[in-house]
Amino acid sequence: MTNQTPDIDDQPSRRVDEVLDGVRVAMLTTDTGTGLEARPLTIVAQDIDTLWFLVSRSAHWLNSAVLSSQQSLLAFEDARRSSYVCLVGTLRLDDEPSRVRALWTAPARAYFDGPEDPDIVALAFDVTGGRWWDGPDSRIGQSLALARAIVTHDSSKVGEVGPVVTGPPPDDATR
């Protein structure tokens, strides 16, 4: 079977907010110094290409991940839409109490006593790039796409893929 998937750079690009489209939970993979480790985190805010999380200052992985010069990976899945995203970026901490208060959400109370909890810290993931994948939404659509790929020996018929780009969205007046 030949893979006729076009070069990723030739595919349509999407911005961070376009690929996330309401998905709030991600798997963050970091280098802990002894190997790669992943954990689920909930996005509490987004500022163009920066995703914000509230995390425990005492988490065993946090210091090595933030101090490392290695990039980290955020992976998202929206199974209902057959949509998948991997974002690459760097981590940084913001322990300003005003930042934590601004990011505070009611569900965070499950992990912290409140926004004044000394163990809570804001974690920023600054996106530098990534890749998205979309497939047919329904089981029937997925089956038809797979059948078409099998018959035509062209795996590019199963879905679309493209790069994630960073930077502010273009001004509406220039579109």
Domain boundary assignment for the chain: 8-168
Q: How confident is the model at residue 2 (pLDDT cuts 50, 70, 90)?
A: very low
What 22-25 contacts at long range (C-beta under 8 Å, 24+ apart), as own/partner pairs, is 23/76, 23/77, 23/78, 23/83, 23/85, 25/76
Task: Tell if the pTM clears 0.75, that is, is over it.
Answer: yes
Is the per-residue pLDDT at 123 higher than 90?
A: yes
> How many other C-beta atoms are found inside a 10 Å radius of the C-beta of residue 30?
20
Look-up of token digits 């065993």: 60
The encoded tokens of residue 53 equal 């999380």
Q: Which CATH superfamily is domain 8-168 in?
A: Electron Transport, Fmn-binding Protein; Chain A (2.30.110.10)
pLDDT at position 138:
47
